Amino acid sequence: MPISELKLAKDLIRRPSITPRDAGAINILAKNLRSLGFKCQIINFKNIKNLYAKLGRSSPNFCYAGHTDVVPPGNINEWTVNPFKPAVKNNKLIGRGANDMKASIACFVAAVSRFKIKNKKFRGSISLLITGDEEGIAINGTKRVVKYLKRKKEKINFCLVGEPTNPNKLGEMIKIGRRGSITGRLAVIGTQGHVAYPHRANNPSNAMVKILKRIKETKLDNGTKNFQASNLEIIKININNNADNVIPGSADTVFNIRFNNKHSSSSLKKKLNAIFKSVTKKTKCKFRVQYEVSGESFVTKPNKTTYMIQSTVKKITGIKPKLSTTGGTSDARFIRKIAPCLEFGLVGKTMHKIDESVSVSDLKKLTYIYQSILENYFK
């Protein structure tokens, strides 16, 4: 009997696996995979549960990657169902993780169960790399599993990441890369003083305003063949001052840049630091800056598997998916270090929202797509 994607999706959603909690989600998955003959390795890093499961031993190894953790539900009273008691209404499965991304994992497992019935002996192996730490800080998840697999000399020949990639309709978009992301926290330090005696103080807000104008007006690029233009957004401006007659001593800002492959985090840091230096020098202020890099930009050059997946999706959905690099970061940024990868999953319209949902007919279609991808890959 093949595994039902809807039943498994519901079983997974019932586990409130809000990062870093696992709540039994990985075990449910492992149980289903074992019933199909997979060897399951549960790999714990700190408080995070990860799973590497494999069916078969020979090469090539086709891997599916995803995560069982979910973001918090927000205000439960705003949901039309309990986010962890999934229900189908108007042909839609509603629950936290319905499209990001428990249901996609369920579709892949269901696809393998069907593939196996038709192909008892196939040449190669199928694996799943599943983490419980994608929505959080993601240091004990895929990043470490990838290092572990590398150490064990485990070879993955191609990896399909099942994140929701389609903006509105199943079939619209395959992701072949991602933009990089860097966050900067800048403090400009001047000299505090009496507002009526500005010559005895040095207001850092003047320098801050100049800096913000310059970094916002710096054109980073016009985009590339595979990427949209890089963009800087100012997220926070803060001058902590409770008195109206005091010139503040410092001013803070936080900004984030989503950047394409014309830059790296270090080239951006250099560019920004030069601006901070020049403005603070002219205004006789000092500055401190801290950066957090959540990923460099990357693109996987499309290969024959990419085009096979693109045409498989087109055959089933009637839409030729665009090969895109838009959106946020994903675990593909770690996996691409050991294997070529692309991303294709459900429609992400409601991800992280109240009443996250997925169309039940999309679930069936995605299972069929994943099954056909396996059949074409191992043909």
CB of 113 to Zn ion, least distance (A): 23
Residue 163 annotated among the catalytic residues of the structure: no
Q: Which residue has the tokens 């994607």?
A: 5
CB 327, min distance to Zn ion, A: 10
Considering the candidates 134, 163, 296, 356, report the single residue annotated as catalytic. 134
Q: Is 65 in the site for Zn ion (CB under 5 A)?
A: no
Neighbouring CB atoms inside 10 A of 273's CB total 15
Q: Buried b vs exposed e over 347-358: b needs ≥16 C-beta within 10 Å?
A: bbebbebbbbbb
**Minimum Å distance from CB 146 to Zn ion?**
17
Residue 248 or 348: the one with the smaller Cβ distance to Zn ion is 348
Residues 227 and 261: beta-carbon distance below 8 Å: yes
Report the chain's terminal Cα–Cα distance, integer Å: 23
**What totals of helices (H) and strands (E) does the chain contain, helices first?**
9, 19
Applying CB under 5 A, among 22, 69, 100, 343 the residue interacting with Zn ion is 100
- Which two three-digit tokens encode residue 345? 């999953």
Residue 331 appears among annotated catalytic residues: no
Cα–Cα distance, 162 to 346 (Å, whole number): 8
Give the nearest distance from C-beta 372 to Zn ion in angstroms: 23
Amino acid at 276: F
**315 vs 352, beta carbon nearer Zn ion:** 352
Out of 11, 22, 69, 133, pick the active-site residue. 69
**Residues 127 to 166 in contact with Zn ion, rule: CB under 5 A:** 163
Is 101 a binding residue for Zn ion by CB under 5 A? The answer is yes
**Shortest distance, position 97 Cβ to Zn ion, whole Å:** 9
Using the minimum distance from each CB to Zn ion, give the nearer residue, 68 or 283: 68
How many amino acids of this chain bind Zn ion (CB under 5 A)? 3
Q: How far apart are CA 263 and CA 128, in angstroms?
A: 32
CB of 128 to Zn ion, least distance (A): 15
Give the DSSP H/E element, type plus range, for residue 48. Answer: strand 48-55
What single string gives the DSSP state of each residue in 52-107? EEEE-SSS-EEEEEEE--B-----GGGSSS-TTS-EEETTEEESTTTTTTHHHHHH
Q: Of 154 and 163, which has the nearer Cβ to Zn ion?
A: 163
- In the DSSP assignment, the letter for residue 202 is B
Rounded CA-CA distance 38/77 in Å is: 40
Nearer to Zn ion, 22 or 163 (CB): 163
Does 69 participate in binding Zn ion (rule CB under 5 A)? no
Q: Using CA atoms, how far apart are residues 38 and 337, in angstroms rounded to an integer? A: 24
Name the minimum Å distance from CB 162 to Zn ion: 9
Antiparallel, parallel or unpaired: β 322-324 and 173-175:
parallel
State both tokens at 98. 């319905």
User: Which CB sits closer to Zn ion, 19 or 372?
Assistant: 19
- What are the start-end ranges of the H helices in 94-253? 102-118, 142-151, 204-217
Q: Please report how close the Cβ of residue 338 comes to Zn ion at its closest, in angstroms.
A: 20
Q: Which is nearer to Zn ion, 163 or 356 (CB)?
A: 163
Copy the structure tokens of residue 214. Answer: 């310059």
3 state DSSP class of 9: helix
| Whether 360 contacts 88, CB under 8 Å | yes
For Zn ion, the closer of residues 86 and 164 by Cβ is: 164
- Scanning 16-24, 92-100, 216-224, 281-289 for contacts with Zn ion by CB under 5 A, the matching segment is 92-100
Stretch that binds Zn ion, among 3-11, 100-108, 123-131, 316-324 (CB under 5 A): 100-108
Q: Which residue is nearest to Zn ion (CB)?
A: 100
* Helix or strand (DSSP H, E) at 141: none
162-201 binders of Zn ion (CB under 5 A): 163
Q: Looking at the annotation, which residues are catalytic?
A: 69, 134
Residues of this chain that bind Zn ion (CB under 5 A): 100-101, 163
